[in-house]
Amino acid sequence: MTDNRFFPSREPLSLGEIARRVGASLASGTNEGATLDGVAPLDAAGPRDLSFLDNPKYAGAFERTRAGACIVHPRFAERAPEGVALLISEQPYRAYALAAQLFYPEEVTGGDTFGERGLVHPAATVHPTAKLGQGVTVEPGAVIGAGAEVGRETVIGANASVAKGCTIGKNCFIGPNTTISHAHIGDRVILHPGVRIGQDGFGFAMGLPRHEKVPQLGRVIVQDDVEIGANSTVDRGAGPDTVIGEGTKIDNLVQIGHNAEIGRHCIVVAQTGVSGSAKLGDFVVLAAQVGVAGHLTINSGAQIAARGAVVHDVPPGQQYGGVPARPIAEWRREVVETRKLGRRKKQTGGSDE
């Protein structure tokens, strides 16, 4: 449930204002001046809450909900219980996301974690040559190095480290225990707790008599509106920069290798690894536990199914899956045929004949 100690809501919003801001239309006869206090799931919502229905699986919960209002697709409108105001949208989940942002704006940009916004805490360490913009928050134990720059209204969480020379844009959230070095961070970036940005890439000249370390002389460039999940790592480049494109969303426990280039608005899901010098185009999706070999290209719009192992370039707009990853229809046919073969062997006592 939504706990006001963690998620304080803003002032109540009218149905008319919500509908206008999320691009929905109010059902006929709806009182657009009626107000709501927040959002909640269908089965937990009360008369002062806004909920939504997007998945037909939850149509029954919609018919029983006590929510004050609900965002629904037109095809479900007739199933609404009496007394529930309707906001009609062709994309209910997207509209709900926008509505939740209205009620809880700090959950979009990242709020402070200590409870004192806009202050540099006495237990933080800020180098005299560092530059902090107006309204920057620096929580206890955080360290900001020489020549670093932090844009206005950005939050540097407790025990975070921003190394010398790094720059961070405005309205960012740098979570507790995050470390940033050799990096330039854009505006409205969210780095969740424990993210590591800019450490050495894994580069060695291997051989006898020993493996020689190759100095990693590039940077990490994180463009605007990127979000990186807890305990994910982005290595700095060996010479070229490692780049995370605008609007890309990276889940928890993801590894991005040196020199990798991630395009704009990509989705990279948990426990995925992208090897050094790999390139992703725009709007690429890597599902959970995908592995991407180095020095290849996954072109724009491609999608890789969970646990896929990408060892060759992927054409634009294609869906791949399996180990090694191949066109998803081909992979599915092979899975089906393998199951059939297994059943035949079982029926014949293990013989191939």
Q: How far apart are CA 222 and CA 228, in angstroms?
A: 10
Q: Tell me, yes or no, whether 56 lies in a domain.
A: yes
Please check whether residue 267 lies inside any domain of the structure: no
> Quick check: 350 pLDDT over 70?
no
Q: Quickly state the pLDDT bin for 266 (edges 50, 70, 90).
A: very high
Domain of 40, CATH number, reads: 3.40.1390.10
Closest to 185 measured CA to CA, from 90, 195, 194, 88 = 195
Q: Where are the beta strands (DSSP E) in 15-174?
A: 25-26, 35-36, 38-39, 49-53, 69-72, 85-88, 125-126, 131-132, 137-138, 143-144, 149-150, 155-156, 161-162, 167-168, 173-174
321 beta partners: 326
Pick from 27-31, 151-155, 262-266: least confident:
27-31
User: Is residue 4's pLDDT more than 90?
Assistant: no
2 pLDDT higher than 80 = no
- Region 285-303: what's the mean pLDDT? 98
pLDDT at residue 186 greater than cutoff 80: yes
Q: With pLDDT > 70 as the criterion, what percentage of the chain qualifies?
A: 98
β partners of residue 314:
298
Q: What is the pLDDT of residue 7?
A: 85
8 A C-beta contact, residue 109 and residue 190:
yes
Phi–psi pair at 205, nearest 5 degrees: -85, 105
- In the set 182, 211, 258, 295, the catalytic residue is 258
Strands 212-213 and 204-205: antiparallel
**pLDDT at residue 352, as a whole number:** 54
Per mean pLDDT, which range of 59-68, 107-116, 175-184 is the poorest?
107-116
Spell out the SS3 assignment of 185-198. Answer: ECCCCEECCCCEEC
- Give pLDDT, residue 117: 92
Q: What is the average pLDDT across 333-349?
A: 83
Best CA proximity match to 273, nearest among 260, 287, 259, 291: 291
Q: Does residue 111 lie within any of the structural domains?
A: no
Domain that holds residue 21: 13-104
Check pLDDT > 90 for residue 9. Answer: no
Instruction: Respond yes or no: is residue 258 known to be catalytic.
Output: yes
Number of domains, the chain: 1
∠278-189-185 over CA atoms, to 5°? 65
Q: Is the pTM of this model over 0.95?
A: no
Residue 79 DSSP one-character state: G
Residue 61 lies in a domain: yes
Q: Which of 10-14, 56-60, 187-191 has the lowest mean pLDDT?
A: 10-14
